[in-house]
Structure 1
Amino acid sequence: MHILFLSDNFPPEVNAPASRTFEHCREWVKAGHQVTVISCVPNFPKGRVYAGYRNRLWQTEIIEGIRLLRVWSYITANEGFVKRILDYQSFMVAATLAGLLVRRVDVVVGTSPQFFTVCAAWVLSVFKRIPFVFELRDLWPESIKAVGAMQDSTAIRWLEKLELFLYRKAKLIVTVTHAFRDKLIRRGIDGNKISVVTNGVDMGRFKSMPKDPSLVRQLGLEGKFVGGYVGTHGLAHHLETVLDAAEKFIAEGLGEDFHFILLGDGARKPALQDEAHRRRLQNVTFVDTVPKDEVARYWSLLDVSIIHLRKTELFTTVIPSKLFECMGMGLPVLHGVAGESADMVCAENVGIVFEPENAEELVTQMKVLKNDRSRYEIYRANSLVAARKYDRTALAMEMLALLDKLVAGRA
């Protein structure tokens, strides 16, 4: 089977869409299938082309057996709705044209969160007369409204109509949460064509390890209880809550005992850094995005992982992908997200759920995990056990079986 996969994120980018796409496609190649991925040059999240790459019209690579076609797109930072739409639409056009030149394809997959990429997948399915699969990672454009980036308008309503059109045209929809599936069914989409393949963890990369001693010294973390956030610093994540918690520890005279690391980049990072400097938060360290091979070393610095999203109804339907990496690393979780992901944390008993945007509760639960060592070790042991249920290899095979069934049924 020849799978054509469209994603505007791919390694060396280290965000969740890039990791999921690469790790799935890698396993499909290992299983004997041909996989072609169309993406743009790496630039997320700063909107700047990575060193060693150029934003050319067309360039190809082979990465672990995956044929990768990188196409030109309009590149901009994640700032401003109009510029981002131009970014998305330029990739849609370029990916469509490139996809027309890929021969003997059996199925085409388009992945969200934004669905202009998925539009390209649908167009290619029409021209090539092959099934079109919608991999749904985010309820976009609803998430735009949820973070306050744009209010309800004619443009949003037009995007919502396009969203429903794509759901209906897809032969198969693969969602990453059961809540997404339920929501689509309530909106009138046939549940028989919706399957759930959750995010997971690359067990070969993320595993329990001692704190990296050189990084501990470099960042001055000796003797500190470290809570960390690893990921995009965006509007959706409301990391001001972490800064508020850091300030409370200082006010209590515990600034030397509890430390926070924020690793990653995003639209809100400069403002967060300015705010931390203004408040003189000496117990907060910002670290820029590191290469994928280095991420586990930085995870190892943490005593607990902090996962947080804004307090809004939409985010009760998501499961942040970093939760699975925390499990793989054996890190107890302080989980500031309500809904399906909170239920997972409780069911697997891998950490403590706290109310989103509640810094006081975050402080309280950090103290609990520092002082109650037996409880801490239970969460740690349970994380390592739970991670095996979400092994990325097994999940990739689960999605491959769905694609194989779809193609076989067409034949």
Structure 2
Amino acid sequence: MRILIVSQHFWPEGFHINDVARSLVAQGHTVDVLTAKPNYPEGRIFTGYRAWGCQQEDYHGVTIRRMPLFPRGKDSKVRLALNYLSFIFSGYAFGPWLTRGQKYDVIFVYGVSPILQALPALLLGWLKKSPVVIWVQDLWPESLSATGYVKNRFILKAVEKVVRFIYHHTDLLLVQSRAFIAPVRKLAPRTPIQYHPNSVDESFAKPAMPASHPEVPALDAPFTVMFAGNIGAAQAVEVIVEAAALLKAHSDIHFIVLGDGSRREWMLQQVRQQGLANLHLPGRFPVETMPGFMQKASVLLVTLADREIFAATVPSKVQAYLAAGRPIIASLNGAGADLVAEAGAGLTAPAEDGTLLAKAVMTLYTMSTNERCVMGERGRCYYQAHFTHEKLIGELIQQLEQTVHRTQGHTA
């Protein structure tokens, strides 16, 4: 197949779609990516790129076609809105020109927030008579309300109408969580919907090479609780600060928060103000170092805010944690916590409950090393049975091919 991936984010930004694109090429498919200039999560355009102008790159056989983008900045709702809107504008203005003369069997949208990025894909699907498949990673407009970025009900209703339009004009909707099916179905009663979970690069499931990771404070502490990923409002990282404060008398226990995001500076302030010598925020590291970091930790931590939308979400880091074979604490509600419990891979605590998070940490701390290893191994076995990258890439190819076959009568 000739596949066009439309995604606001792509390499060198660390998103799972990078692995998907490489694997599709490895399976013999031709893959182009229509994307923007990299700026996530720092909020500024990466070195070697500039916000304006178009450019083309090659990435492991994937042809990347980049469009202009207004950088998102930090802690600015206005800049974030302009960032989202600029991708849509660039998609309309430059997408048809950058893909001129190209024919595609299918257009595949990596539907992280904002789902509005699918609008240019719909235009390209119409122009090129290609079916459009969206992999829904986040629920809109619910996520806008839950994260507090938009509270005006009229704006939320308008966004809902746009999302309904997008879903209605899509040939297949893939959802990353089974709990997404009902809310997506509500907006797309006639569009086919299938479950397709996230995976991670196979390196997460392989033993890390000794000394394969940079030096990080407290990584060699007797007991480490590691959080890795975006440090934002959706992650409710206040719960980590609360648990660290409750456990700061236990000198063996250290919290390590890897990554960057809108709430990192607030966490650093709390470390200083509360004297939390047991809470470390060393920053963001290349994605290839993550398997080594995770496998070095005693426990891996995932958190989400106490919102209805997040109860339907399975953070993609859960699959990475399962693959790493370390015990997991899921400080969240709903689908993500249920998955960890079903796998027998760790403990759960209600979202935003620092007291019960601290209790879960102490429970794992008092376990023997062997008990924790057994728990981690159960998680890895569950990952191998349900979430391996090879298995899910095969299923994705089948879903795309079936969509092409089903729609070829009116796309020819």
Fold equivalence (TM over 0.5): yes
Q: How does 1:320-399 map to 2 (within 5 A)?
A: 320-373=315-368, 374-388=370-384, 389-399=386-396
Q: How many residues align?
A: 402
Residues 210/355 of structure 1: CA separation in 2 closer, same or farther (3 Å cut): farther
1:232 to 224, 230, 233: 230
Q: Call closer, same or farther: CA 1:350–1:210 in 2, change over 3 Å.
A: farther
2:162 paired residue number = 162
Residue deviations 1:275-303 (CA, integer Å, cap 9, x gap): 21111101111021111222222223311
Match of 1:257 in 2: 252
Per-residue Cα deviation, 1:183-219 (whole angstroms, up to 9, x for no partner): 222445236x101110112223443448749756x52
C-alpha deviation, 1:97, in angstroms:
3.6
Tell me the amino acid that sits aligned with residue 166 of structure 2: L
Match of 1:90 among 86, 89, 93: 86
The Cα of 1:378 is off from its aligned counterpart by 2.0
Structure possessing the higher relative contact order (Cα contacts under 8 Å, 6 or more residues apart): 1
CA contact (8 A) 1:202 1:393 kept: no
Per the alignment, residue 135 of structure 1 pairs with 135
Q: Residue 408 in 1 paired to residue 412 in 2?
A: no
List gaps (5 residues or longer) in structure 1. none
Note if contact 2:147-2:234 (Cα within 8 Å) is conserved in structure 1: yes
Describe the superposition over 1:331-366 as per-residue Cα deviations: whole angstroms up to 9, x where unpaired: 110001111121111111001011111111111111
Paired residues of 1:23 and 1:396 also in contact (CA < 8 A): no
Partner residue of 2:105?
106
Contact 2:226 2:297 in 1 (8 A): yes
Instruction: Kindly indicate whether the alpha-carbon contact (under 8 Å) linking 2:116 and 2:163 is maintained by their aligned counterparts in 1.
Output: no
For 1:397, give the aligned amino acid: G
User: Partner of 1:45 in structure 2?
Assistant: 41
Quote the Cα distance in structure 1 between the aligned partners of 2:212 and 2:139.
41
Contact 2:134/2:170 (<8 A) preserved: yes
Where in structure 1 do 4 or more consecutive aligned residues deviate above 6 Å?
Answer: none
The one-character-per-residue Cα deviations of 1:85-113 (angstroms, maximum 9, x if unpaired) are 22112111222344313211121122322
5 Å-filtered alignment, 1:141-220, equals 141-187=141-187, 189-190=189-190, 193-209=192-208, 212=211, 219-220=217-218
Deviation at 1:376, TM superposition (A): 1.3
1:395 Cα deviation from its structure 2 partner: 0.8
TM-score with structure 2 setting the length? 0.93
- Contact preservation (8 Å) 1:28, 1:397: no
Sequence identity, in percent? 25
- Partners in 1 of 2:405 and 2:3 — Cα distance? 13
CA RMSD of aligned residues (A): 1.8
**CA distance in structure 2 between the partners assigned to 1:152 and 1:53 by the alignment:** 35
Counterpart contact for 2:55–2:66, Cα < 8 Å: yes
